[in-house]
Structure 1
Amino acid sequence: MSILCLLPPMWACCFSLLSPVILASPESTVSTISGSLLLVRKTPISQFSAEMEAQSPGITVVRVVHQQDLNKRILISLIVSSSLLGAILLFLLIFWIYKQKSLRNSNKQKDVGEGLSLSPIMDRINNIRLAGKKGSVPVIEYQLLEAATNNFRESNVLGEGGRGRVYKAYFSDKFLAAVKKLDGGGSDAEREFENEVKWLTKIRHQNIVSLLGYCNHGETRLLVYEIMQNGSLENQLHGPTQGSALSWDLRMKVAIDVARALEYLHDHCNPPVVHRDIKSSNILLDSSFNAKLSDFGLAVTAGGQDKNVKLSGTLGYVAPEYLLEGKLTDKSDVYAFGVVLLELLIGKRPLEKMSPSQCQSLVTWAMPQLTDRTKLPNIVDPVIKDTMDLKHLYQVAAVAVLCIQPEPSYRPLITDVLHSLIPLVPVELGGSLRVT
């Protein structure tokens, strides 16, 4: 509302405040003057003057003083009301300036976000995604990422990993993304960042998360991914909801989605790729619970032979031959997949802390019970217990047992795992099971 629109009501208000003072005092003056005129008509001037002079000497002076006092009162009232009006106008002016400034700042932030969606950077991202080009990911300016994440505000945090935090970024009302901010330096961090960019610029698959861009800003490195609304599998299983959003069918869908991603890496990439860090926190879920594999910082190429590489990964998921001997093959990923399958089945973490100095391995604890059909139903996650066909439960348990075999040669290929699980998943969720 414009301040000028408020002026007429304010003047009216001030006039209403002053009118009693202005109107009341002149009324007594008029009555006094009227009375005097009546006396003038009835009494000769000389007699009137003599009587008044005799009875009340100086009455004329008193009248003058009364008129001056009235003028002073009116003047004071005008000064007070003008001061009050000025103060109100000043307050409204300051308030209006503040509102305009806030509105400009708000529009500026909105324009930055919306401008990014129309910028050449976003055009490049969209063109690359539509064309399916490999080997090309745009560099995004740090200031744009800072604006999109609201200066990396705490309320925008989606998750936190060993290398840094992941923030929700608003590029426009219709375009959101996830920004992973990797803090700190070091050769390992730099190598993992470059590795991530290298692999995700080459890889395009429906079950592997898409890299939309990246940024190098001093010691800070940032990766921009597609948004995954349901977060990580780890948070779904072990977070506040404790797996309640994941039915048996959805868990099996997640399993075949991850298996499809691994099959692509092992069998369709040239050369083959070993992910080396398969775990529930690196499996992300979109709004429809489609699973996508993320975090390729540790990924390496692999041939048909064992490959000795520096030991990296997460305890609980690392295959025995890699942990003890440093031997890494595609079967190492199969072992980690088997551990994830156990998480989906049992609802427990790979390592459960028993005491401050002792942890229990899920694989070690579950293995004897997975092969016993009388005990198996009792170790299933209570959230999904008695919700599946027992034949399907036994088959999934058998696949998990094969994947976590200590000897790599006894483990199946990921392709065999995938074809074993597809018949257990309904058609509408990506499997071949027709539910009647």
Structure 2
Amino acid sequence: MRLSVIYLFVSTLCLMTSAAVALSLAKRGCQDTCGNVTIPYPFGIGSECYANSSFAVVCDNSTNPARLHLSSIQLEILDISLHGTVRVVQRVFPMTCSDEQKTQSLGKSLVGSPFTISSIQNSLTVLGCRNSVWLRANKTTITGGCMALCDYNSRDTSCNGINCCKITIPMGLQELQVTYQSIANDKNNTPFCGYAFLADMKWFREDYGKYNGLRSYLLDPFDGEFGNASMVLEWEYARSVKFIRSSFCVYPGDTSFAAFNYETLSKVCYCDFGFEGNPYLPEGCQDIDECGNSTTNSCSEGDTCVNRIGSYECQKPKSRLKIAFIVIGSVLGALILLLGAWRSTKLIRKRIKGIRKRKFFKRNGGLLLEQQLSSTDNGLEKTKLFTSKELAAATDHYNENRILGHGGQGTVYKGMLADGRIVAVKKSKRVDEDDLEVFINEIVILSQINHRNVVKLHGCCLENEVPLLVYEFIPNGTLFRHIHEPNEDFPLSWEMRTRIARDVAGALSYLHSAAYAPIYHRDIKSTNILLDEKYGAKVSDFGTSKSVAIDQTHLTTRVLGTFGYLDPEYFQSSQFTEKSDVYSFGVVMVELLTGEKAISSVRAEVGKSLATHFLHSMEEDHLFDILDPRVLKEGSREEVVAIAELARRCLHLNGKRRPTMKEVAVELEGIQLLKEGSVVVQNHDNNREYHSVHEFAECYDFSAMSGSMHFHTITASSAEVERPLLDEP
């Protein structure tokens, strides 16, 4: 029973493969026919087309039709089957009559090749009578034999023992020999006794025997030479085979399998049910469209046949209304699922963003900022916390065209808030834990400052990957650029230089003495002084600034600041005092006077430091040799000398002998008032007026100024007296 099922299974596969006439069974790009013979892989013409040399074939186009030959054994091929067989033509040679035993080989040896003689489809055929013929599987083993009776009047052509007999062949043989001997010598016989050769069963059917002379020989044994006969060879070729109950081919795509062919008794590969093609080629088995042909599916009339990969499905007809409801329900269900998925994704993303923002807020010092500002009278509410979305929109997502400049602590972008305010957004570099205190310190310091000559901090954003500070926008850039890269259309005049000096001095005086707590800037330089639309000065960049206790006279810290502006005493003691800011301001004043940079290799002969160069020139009485040409042209001699003397005092190597910033601011205001012909000095400590030239002179040595300058005391109105020097007008 089991044998019958397997045979039916294999037969069905054979029919399916035979129907695949449209598929090419050869390797892609290779010749797939020769004459009337189809050439499937692993056979092929050319080294790129066959699996190995045993399957190499050659097409002889000199005949019509062309003939195909198997190169390895030099036999003509009649047809090739993917079920493991190849039918070839062999030459038949006669036996020589003798009453002695003779042995001869049948055909060519197949040893060393993947081919064997089919025992199912072939038999050893003996033509002639009174000859005993034995079949030898090797030189010693006899596997069978036969002898035919003579009846020259018989018309039987079935080869069943009258003038012809057949011997069954064992399985798996690759070479055969026959031993024969004549039993009785009939002198009327021809010199040969007949033939012994291999022949396939199909050769006896239809017209194969007729075309090769078998029928004519049997009807007239004395009618000349016999000729050729066909036989079937079996072949095996599998790339990877494993055995689990039965044999299976393991190929990419899993659409092929190996089975035992009971027709050929060889292990061959087949395409799986629902597939057709060449199972020996990668992806050689293709899906059969069973619905394309009514004979390949069993769907009833009225059913809808739907092709599947390797199979098909018969679907019963449904009413249009039912189909419509199903479609509408499916669409609505899909929309609901999509909407739910979208909302869920949105909520998840929002939650993830919230978690990230809280993470960045903590990492960027948000908790530290809250702690610092909560301990001051200002409170956190005065420092607005912007969202990352607000600042991204304000700066056009940090467009490169919005960059105002790069600093040591980050990049500054120009932006516009939703309310129309123009701001400068400072995008800090990634803040490490060591620099976190510096960043938070700048926010805390600026939250305590309210002065017209200090850049105003609008707020910050800590929920981004890098922290952001939002300042008021100062349109005219840095003082450094205007001094050292002057604009010819709008140069920095002497009046503007003195006003800038007064503005910066007033701001520093406020920081040192009038703020909530004394604040040391610690990095005063021309690049940290910005100019507004009226070229008023604004002190910026408080990242390294420090608030100090009122009774504290200095800070001990690591070296901070910029070379050329840094207090020489700071290098020796690492103690930063308010006089250190005075020294840095003195360098800025010298920059305004000379138009030269704080550090320059051009001044190598007297030192690269501008401060050293200036002090040396003052000592040598060469002040006017180093002044900027515009200062010489526009400034009065007395005013220039007075400011230069003040700058020299600010640059004194002994910090104790330098004036305070409050004194510097008062003296600069005094010099301006002297220029205008009057002096009004307001004391911010006790809000009293001084209309005395003598008290003002105590904090400034006017001995170096021209004797032509005069002091005049004026009486100011109450409105003039109450105008503060350091607050907004």
TM-score, scaled relative to structure 2: 0.39
Q: 1:184 to 1:432 in 2, by over 3 A?
A: farther
Question: For residue 156 of structure 1, what is the aligned residue in structure 2?
Answer: 402
One-letter amino acid matched to 2:572 = L
Q: Is the Cα contact below 8 Å between 1:232 and 1:283 reproduced in 2? A: yes
Q: For residues 497 and 679 of structure 2, what CA distance do their matches in structure 1 show?
A: 15
Question: For residue 329 of structure 1, what is the aligned residue in structure 2?
Answer: 577
- Give 5+ residue unaligned stretches, structure 2: 1-376, 681-710, 712-729
Shift of 1:284: 1.1
Shift of 1:167: 0.9
Q: For residues 626 and 603 of structure 2, what CA distance do their matches in structure 1 show?
A: 21
Counterparts of residues 35-434 of structure 1 (less than 5 Å): 134-135=378-379, 136-171=382-417, 174-239=420-485, 241=487, 245-302=491-548, 303-354=551-602, 360-373=608-621, 375-425=622-672
One-letter amino acid matched to 1:193 = F
Shift of 1:164: 1.3
Q: For residues 288 and 200 of structure 1, what CA distance do their matches in structure 2 show?
A: 23
Structure of higher CA gyration radius: 2
Q: 1:355 to 1:321 in 2, by over 3 A?
A: closer
Quote the RMSD (CA, aligned, Å). Answer: 2.8
Shift of 1:212: 0.4
Q: For residues 660 and 433 of structure 2, what CA distance do their matches in structure 1 show?
A: 34
Q: 1:157 to 1:254 in 2, by over 3 A?
A: same
Q: For residues 516 and 462 of structure 2, what CA distance do their matches in structure 1 show?
A: 29
Q: For residues 555 and 399 of structure 2, what CA distance do their matches in structure 1 show?
A: 42
One-letter amino acid matched to 1:321 = E
One-letter amino acid matched to 2:624 = P
One-letter amino acid matched to 2:585 = F
Between the aligned residues of both structures, percent identity stands at 36
Q: For residues 339 and 368 of structure 1, what CA distance do their matches in structure 2 show?
A: 14
Q: Is the Cα contact below 8 Å between 1:256 and 1:421 reproduced in 2? A: yes
Q: Is the Cα contact below 8 Å between 1:237 and 1:243 reproduced in 2? A: no
Shift of 1:385: 2.4
**Number of aligned residues:** 299
For the residue of structure 2 that corresponds to 1:193, the secondary structure is: helix
Q: Is the Cα contact below 8 Å between 1:208 and 1:261 reproduced in 2? A: yes
For the residue of structure 2 that corresponds to 1:180, the secondary structure is: strand
Q: For residues 603 and 631 of structure 2, what CA distance do their matches in structure 1 show?
A: 28
Question: For residue 235 of structure 2, what is the aligned residue in structure 1?
Answer: none
Q: Is the Cα contact below 8 Å between 1:282 and 1:295 reproduced in 2? A: yes
For the residue of structure 2 that corresponds to 1:209, the secondary structure is: coil
For the residue of structure 1 that corresponds to 2:491, the secondary structure is: coil
Q: Is the Cα contact below 8 Å between 1:209 and 1:226 reproduced in 2? A: yes
Q: Is the Cα contact below 8 Å between 1:236 and 1:243 reproduced in 2? A: no
Q: 1:328 to 1:432 in 2, by over 3 A?
A: same
Q: For residues 188 and 242 of structure 1, what CA distance do their matches in structure 2 show?
A: 44
Q: For residues 431 and 389 of structure 2, what CA distance do their matches in structure 1 show?
A: 20
For the residue of structure 2 that corresponds to 1:425, the secondary structure is: helix
Q: Bigger shift: 158-167 or 328-337?
A: 158-167
Q: For residues 578 and 598 of structure 2, what CA distance do their matches in structure 1 show?
A: 20
Q: For residues 181 and 432 of structure 1, what CA distance do their matches in structure 2 show?
A: 45
Shift of 1:355: 10
Task: Spell out, residue by residue over 1:282-340, the C-alpha distance to the aligned partner (whole angstroms, 9 max, x if none).
Answer: 11111001111111111113344332112211111110111222011100100001001
Q: Bigger shift: 205-214 or 417-426?
A: 417-426
Q: Is the Cα contact below 8 Å between 2:522 and 2:545 reproduced in 1? A: yes
Q: 1:197 to 1:405 in 2, by over 3 A?
A: same
One-letter amino acid matched to 2:631 = I
Q: Is the Cα contact below 8 Å between 1:134 and 1:204 reproduced in 2? A: no
Shift of 1:239: 2.8
Q: For residues 343 and 226 of structure 1, what CA distance do their matches in structure 2 show?
A: 26
Q: For residues 260 and 243 of structure 1, what CA distance do their matches in structure 2 show?
A: 29
Question: For residue 692 of structure 2, what is the aligned residue in structure 1?
Answer: none
Q: Bigger shift: 358-367 or 202-211?
A: 358-367
Q: 1:355 to 1:406 in 2, by over 3 A?
A: closer
Q: For residues 672 and 402 of structure 2, what CA distance do their matches in structure 1 show?
A: 35
Q: Is the Cα contact below 8 Å between 1:182 and 1:221 reproduced in 2? A: yes
Task: Spell out, residue by residue over 1:263-288, the C-alpha distance to the aligned partner (whole angstroms, 9 max, x if none).
Answer: 11111124311111111111111100
Q: 1:394 to 1:230 in 2, by over 3 A?
A: same
One-letter amino acid matched to 2:662 = T
For the residue of structure 1 that corresponds to 2:629, the secondary structure is: coil
For the residue of structure 1 that corresponds to 2:601, the secondary structure is: strand
One-letter amino acid matched to 2:632 = K
One-letter amino acid matched to 1:190 = L
TM-score, scaled relative to structure 1: 0.64
Shift of 1:158: 1.2
Shift of 1:423: 3.1
Q: 1:413 to 1:355 in 2, by over 3 A?
A: closer
For the residue of structure 2 that corresponds to 1:178, the secondary structure is: strand
Q: For residues 398 and 452 of structure 2, what CA distance do their matches in structure 1 show?
A: 29
Q: For residues 139 and 192 of structure 1, what CA distance do their matches in structure 2 show?
A: 18
Shift of 1:348: 0.9
Q: For residues 435 and 488 of structure 2, what CA distance do their matches in structure 1 show?
A: 32
One-letter amino acid matched to 1:414 = M
Q: For residues 242 and 342 of structure 1, what CA distance do their matches in structure 2 show?
A: 21
Task: Spell out, residue by residue over 1:193-237, the C-alpha distance to the aligned partner (whole angstroms, 9 max, x if none).
Answer: 100111111111111111001012443111100011111111211
Q: For residues 393 and 400 of structure 2, what CA distance do their matches in structure 1 show?
A: 14
Q: 1:282 to 1:262 in 2, by over 3 A?
A: same
Q: For residues 655 and 555 of structure 2, what CA distance do their matches in structure 1 show?
A: 13
Q: For residues 173 and 231 of structure 1, what CA distance do their matches in structure 2 show?
A: 23
Shift of 1:242: 7.8
Q: For residues 355 and 410 of structure 1, what CA distance do their matches in structure 2 show?
A: 27
For the residue of structure 1 that corresponds to 2:458, the secondary structure is: strand
Q: Is the Cα contact below 8 Å between 1:182 and 1:222 reproduced in 2? A: yes
Q: Bigger shift: 392-401 or 324-333?
A: 324-333
- Give 5+ residue unaligned stretches, structure 1: 1-132
Indicate the structure with greater helix content. Answer: 1
Q: Is the Cα contact below 8 Å between 2:639 and 2:675 reproduced in 1? A: no
